[in-house]
Every structure is written in C-alpha cells, then in structure tokens.
Structure 1
Amino acid sequence: MECALCLRKVPLTFHHLIPRKVHGRNFFKKHYAREDLNAGVHVCRKCHSGIHKLYDEMTLAKQFNSLDLLKNDAAISAHVNWVAKQKSTL
C-alpha cells in the first residue's frame, strides 16, 4: 500500500480522521456515529507526525476530518510535498 498523502510505498500507520482523544467528548458523541469516529486513512509515519505537529487534536477533529480537507490544507500540503521527496524504505 502507499501513503494516502505522499503516495510513497513505505510502512503505514492509521490516522483517525477524528482523533481518538476527542471521541469521549459530548459534541462528538452526539454528532458522529461510531463508524465515523473510527474512520481514518493509512499514512506514512512522516506524514502522520507532520499532521500532528501542525495541528492539535481538536483542530484536526473539527477542521480536518476528511482526507480531502487534509490534502487541501496549505501547511499539510507543504509538508506532504517535502515528504514525497524523501527516500522510501521499501
């Protein structure tokens, strides 16, 4: 498989589109089904780390809760473009 963001073929991690840290909050319990809370994408470690360094969990949960929203963010896109140029380990 390849990273959903940088498209490199490297070992992947699972990124929850709504971070698990906020799943217990009332807003998310009321407005999202369990399947929605557990939805995510497979990304490489470098992309995953970059996402979490750029934004806190609440921002990710409310503003970047889909793959399209992640891809269309300028800061994440800049990081992903850098990652895409890095050497793949596979």
Structure 2
Amino acid sequence: MARPTTDQCQLCQRRVALTFHHLIPRKMHRRTYFRKHFDRAQLNEGIWVCRRCHRGIHKLYDEMTLAKQFASLTALQNDPAMKKHIAWVARQKGD
C-alpha cells in the first residue's frame, strides 16, 4: 500500500485525512476463489478515501459483495447507493 499521491478523497473529493480501502477486502484474501483468480498485487490494490466514505462503503455492503461487485473505483462511483452517500459526504465539513 503506497502513500496517497494526493490529500483528496478519491470518492467525495474532500481534502481531509485519508484511509486505505482494499478493493478486495482483506478478509477475502484467504478464500480459495480469490487466491486462484487474483495475484498478491491485485489483492492489495486499493483506493485512498476519507473516513466517512470508508465507513459508508462498509456500512452499505458486506465483504463478499464488495469483493465480487465493487472491486474497482469505477464500480463504487457508479453504484446508486454509493453515489447518494458520496453526495452527502461531499457536503460535510471536516472529518
């Protein structure tokens, strides 16, 4: 996990402290399906998001759903429920 290249959340675009979100949750890395279909680098890919966006991601979806349906920044950005959450977070001040 490399350091973020910006201080801007990749979802809501706010400039706040960031956390690393694994696109394939770490809990799934030991499962046979994911070990067979993804290499270590792919399993460790992620995005830098603010705490509010990160909490929202995990509140909306369980780890298996995230791993199978939302394993890319684009998939998260295009999801209607996430869009609604991101819009709300973008209006918030600070973290």
TM-score (norm 2): 0.92
The percent of aligned pairs where both chains have the same amino acid is 63
Question: 1:30 and 1:74 mapped to 2: Cα distance?
Answer: 30
5+ residue gaps, structure 2: 1-6
Matches within 5 A, 1:7-22: 7-22=13-28
Which amino acid is the alignment partner of residue 23 of structure 1?
H
Range moving further from structure 2, 80-89 or 16-25: 80-89
- Structure 2 residue aligned with 1:84: 90
| Residue in 1 that maps onto 2:60 | 54
How far is 1:88 from its partner? Answer: 2.4
Q: How many angstroms apart in 1 are the aligned matches of 2:58 and 2:83?
A: 13
SS at match of 2:92: coil
Number of residue pairs the alignment of both structures matches: 89
Please give the TM-score of this superposition, normalised by the length of structure 1.
Answer: 0.97
